[in-house]
Amino acid sequence: MGILTDDMKRLVDEQKLGFVATVGADGTPNLSPKGTMVVLDDDHIAFGEIRSPNTVENLRHNPVLEINFVDPFARKGYRFKGRADFLERGSDAFDASFAPFAQWGDLANTINGIVKLKVERALPITSPAYDMGASEADLRAQWTESFERIQPGGRFVGR
């Protein structure tokens, strides 16, 4: 059995957007969003490198990675940490992991390489609102209302 539970896989699959932290050569943090996240198997999460020069450079000298996924309605998610491999387009390893990225159609053709994380630590993250006694149903209702104000009926109306 791998480290990723069914619920972890569900969240990654639903949200697709994760925030990726790497460490720079000067020891400073680098954090950037990646919206092409896929679960490859019970131990690996991956994203497509399209326009992430700093992340790629950082991984070259220090292949450690942490990714956060949060459901903005439920106000909870997971954080995943481990070591990453960069699979260059054209390699057998890239071809072996590419299938799930086909869901992005033309965007998938712009992927230069796949960053494949072997998850070594997987932890839940929850809003402190839960510590105050809020239920998931409460928070989903509250944040659905809030997003509805930003984008009524699913349509952005401008400001």
Ligand X SMILES: Cc1cc2nc3c(=O)[nH]c(=O)nc-3n(C[C@H](O)[C@H](O)[C@H](O)COP(=O)(O)O)c2cc1C
Written as six digits, the tokens of 143 are 């944040």
How remote is the C-alpha of 4 from its chain's centroid?
14
Give the residue with the Cβ less far from ligand X, 104 or 130: 104
Applying CB under 6 A, does 17 fall inside the site for ligand X?
yes
Print the binding letters for residues 70-109 with ligand X: x by CB under 6 A, - otherwise: ----------------------------------------
Applying CB under 6 A, does 36 fall inside the site for ligand X?
yes
Tell me how many degrees the CA angle 19-25-29 measures, rounded to the nearest 5.
30
Binder to ligand X among 10, 14, 32, 141 (CB under 6 A)?
32
Measured CA to CA, the distance from residue 79 to residue 113 in angstroms comes to 23
Applying CB under 6 A, does 124 fall inside the site for ligand X?
no
**Which of 43-51, 81-89, 92-100, 138-146 is the region at the interface with ligand X (rule: CB under 6 A)?**
43-51
Applying CB under 6 A, does 47 fall inside the site for ligand X?
yes
Measured CA to CA, the distance from residue 45 to residue 151 in angstroms comes to 31
Written as six digits, the tokens of 135 are 């239920």
Q: Map residue 41 onto helix, strand or coil.
A: strand
Residues that bind ligand X (CB under 6 A): 17, 30, 32-36, 47-55
